[in-house]
Homo-oligomer: A and B are copies of this chain.
Amino acid sequence: MEQTKCHTVNKKQLIASIAKEKKIHPTQVRQVIQSFLDQLTECLSHGDRLEFRDFGVFEVVRRKQKIGRNPKNASVPIIIPERNIVKFTPSKRMRTIIDRVVQPESV
């Protein structure tokens, strides 16, 4: 990436950067990236698991009902119903890289 400080990066910026790096026309890059994201969504919608070496795994898992709390009004419990979620598990390589990131927002 060319930016030294890019807080939020979007598809358009990544496409421009890939086109420049790989010397491929931005239109083709856009087609490939869009198709990639669409097919990923499509696979997940069939309940498939997607595995990208050195990146991570995407899968759909069922999250059981749980009781949450509104942080502004902790006395009132909120029932979060059972639902499907997309679970992303980073690869070992990604985890090692991510571990070096200093002071991201705490959750």
Contact = CB atoms under 8 A, between A and B. Distances in A.
A55 B11 CA distance: 10
B55 A37 contact: yes
Interface residues of A, number: 66
Interface string A32-46: 110111011111111
Contacts of A17: 39
Contact of A48 (B7, B11, B33, B39): B7
Total identical chains: 2
A6 interface: yes
Contacts of A14: 36, 39-40, 50
Interface in A56-107: 56, 58-64, 83-88, 90, 94, 97-107
* Chain A contact residues, majority secondary structure: mixed
A99 B44 CA distance: 10
Contact of A35 (B21, B45, B84, B102): B21
A9 to B, nearest CB: 5
B8 A48 contact: yes
